[in-house]
């Protein structure tokens, strides 16, 4: 495996049933002296030898070594620091190609201490031991099947996924293109649904762009890859030709990627100051990345940045940089809260991934486990228990997918009749939400879904109105 010895990782998970890009890292803190630790090392060695030679059944040294190594990283209580078997190290090599066999989604597992049981636990707290879907990748099997951000994976191929790491779940989901994998999810606590997904070659997109109207440009960055900067430059050129006067950047559902990618992109927007810095355990600055005046988005262009709980890691770097410098007005939901950087190193045939630093925004703020709060929080309304039951009925009965399959061309009259029938049958969901779910299902069936949907995207609609109404300047000045 090339470049296996030391690799940096900046993303929301390890291997995610989707591709991430890996690159070589600069040297980090030197190994600490054995002084003071000798007794622990000697005890481990003696324990290893005793178990190997005296356990009642035959056991291999490799098996004991891997178990001990896994236990060492589990003691850190950090979902991003893990031991990697030889096969898992090879999986990282696979992801550098940019395509592989999988189902197409980014996943993560919550960190920290397991919450004590209480009837008041939130849905996410109750599913602490399960891996969460951060976002499906557009156009992939997971996306087309209807897997959603916030779903928890509770079983794979009939076996419980409780207690599995993100890496272990990813290993089970990846495989030869054309083969099937069965996955059961829990959604919002009371919806349980099983999917049979056919693995495919997964290509990871990076950005889409369009004009929302005659003056406002829209740039949706979906992943931070080596090609993001180039895509943003292409978008900026397109916007200039269309004489744009305002810009909305959307990183909702973007789980991260390359540190270098987001730094390069931020440098196209910011003309001075710090973009991000990384610090070690002693708060020593390891690296500081600064803007160098090569912007392609003029300072006169006002910017709104859209975020949500799926905006993680590298996306949070952009959010922090634009917020702290006052360059953009942030709208949406608080971001994921992944502010740590991992290093991947080969160790013989195996290896490990270890959190070695945290990143800090220009105002010296680390968002790890906290996230970045936008200037204006705007999310979909919370559903009542009765509304959740109506949603569960729709999902579990496949009502909307069946309707779309029976009516492959979107038709307003047929949609109206379908919604009316659902309401007559007792579904109490808000009509707008039902219609939004129908539109999303139609989009999943398209090879090239629309770049935006102003009809049902309330946050995007509000952002556009903020520009067209002339109220943006007062909104930004109120928070700067």
Q: Which of 338, 343, 390, 463 is catalytic?
A: 338
- Cα(108)–Cα(151) distance, rounded to whole angstroms? 11
- Cα(227)–Cα(253) distance, rounded to whole angstroms? 18
Q: How far is CA 173 from each of CA 7, 85, 140, 156, 193, rounded to the nearest angstrom? A: 24, 17, 13, 8, 17
Which sign, positive or negative, has the C-alpha torsion 354, 357, 361, 365?
positive
Q: Which of 166, 260, 342, 399 is catalytic?
A: 342
Question: For 447-456, which contacts have Cβ atoms below 8 Å and span 24 or more sequence positions?
Answer: 447/139, 449/138, 449/139, 451/208, 451/209, 451/210, 451/218, 451/220, 452/210, 452/212, 452/218, 452/220, 454/212, 456/432
- Determine contact, residues 184/194, Cβ cutoff 8 Å: yes
- Cα(77)–Cα(114) distance, rounded to whole angstroms? 10
CA 180 to chain centre: 24
User: Coil, helix or strand for 341?
Assistant: strand
Q: Which of 81, 313, 315, 463 is catalytic?
A: 313
Respond yes or no: is residue 469 known to be catalytic.
no
Beta bridge partners of 156: 159, 183
Which sign, positive or negative, has the C-alpha torsion 308, 313, 314, 319?
positive
Enter the tokens of residue 148.
């959603």
- Cα(84)–Cα(438) distance, rounded to whole angstroms? 42
- Determine contact, residues 247/219, Cβ cutoff 8 Å: yes
Respond yes or no: is residue 342 known to be catalytic.
yes
Respond yes or no: is residue 343 known to be catalytic.
no
Q: Which residues are catalytic?
A: 313, 338, 342
């Amino acid at each position: 495996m090339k470049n296996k010895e030391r690799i940096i990782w900046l993303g929301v998970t390890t291997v995610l049933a989707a591709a991430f890009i890996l690159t070589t890292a600069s040297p980090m803190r030197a190994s600490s002296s054995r002084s003071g630790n000798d007794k622990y090392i000697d005890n481990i060695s003696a324990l290893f030898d005793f178990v190997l030679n005296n356990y009642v059944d035959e056991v291999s040294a490799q098996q004991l070594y891997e178990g001990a190594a896994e236990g060492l990283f589990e003691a850190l209580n950090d979902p991003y620091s893990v031991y990697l078997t030889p096969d898992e190290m090879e999986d990282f090599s696979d992801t550098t190609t940019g395509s592989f066999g999988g189902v197409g989604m980014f996943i993560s597992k919550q960190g920290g201490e397991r919450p004590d049981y209480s009837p008041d636990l939130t849905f996410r707290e109750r599913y602490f031991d399960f891996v969460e879907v951060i976002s499906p990748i557009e156009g992939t099997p997971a996306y087309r099947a209807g897997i959603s951000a916030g779903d928890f994976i509770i079983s794979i191929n009939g076996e419980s996924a409780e207690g599995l790491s993100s890496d272990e779940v990813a290993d089970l989901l990846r495989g030869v293109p054309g083969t099937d994998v069965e996955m059961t999810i829990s959604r919002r606590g009371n919806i349980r649904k099983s999917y049979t997904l056919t693995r495919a070659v997964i290509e990871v997109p990076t950005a889409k762009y369009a004009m929302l109207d005659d003056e406002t440009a829209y740039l949706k960055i979906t992943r931070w890859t080596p090609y993001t900067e180039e895509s943003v430059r292409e978008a900026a050129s397109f916007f200039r030709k269309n004489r744009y006067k305002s810009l909305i950047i959307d990183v909702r559902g973007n789980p991260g990627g390359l540190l270098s990618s987001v730094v390069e992109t931020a440098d196209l927007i910011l003309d001075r100051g710090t973009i991000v810095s990384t610090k070690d355990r002693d708060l020593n600055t390891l690296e500081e990345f600064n803007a160098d005046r090569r912007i392609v988005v003029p300072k006169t262009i006002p910017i709104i940045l859209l975020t949500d709980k799926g905006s993680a890691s590298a996306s949070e770097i952009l959010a922090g940089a634009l917020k702290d410098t006052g360059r953009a007005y942030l709208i949406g939901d608080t971001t994921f809260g992944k502010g740590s950087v991992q290093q991947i190193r080969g160790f013989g045939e195996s290896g490990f991934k270890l959190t070695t630093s945290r990143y800090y925004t220009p105002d010296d703020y680390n968002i790890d486990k906290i996230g970045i709060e936008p200037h204006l929080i705007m999310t979909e309304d919370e559903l009542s228990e009765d509304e959740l039951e109506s949603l569960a009925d729709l999902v579990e009965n496949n009502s909307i997918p069946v309707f779309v399959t029976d009516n492959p061309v979107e038709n307003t009259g047929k949609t109206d009749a379908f919604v009316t029938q659902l309401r007559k049958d007792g579904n109490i969901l808000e009509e707008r939400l039902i219609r939004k779910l129908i539109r999303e299902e139609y989009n999943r069936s398209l090879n090239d879904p629309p770049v935006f949907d102003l009809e049902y995207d309330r946050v995007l609609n509000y952002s556009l109105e903020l520009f067209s109404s002339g109220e943006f300047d007062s909104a930004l000045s109120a928070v700067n």
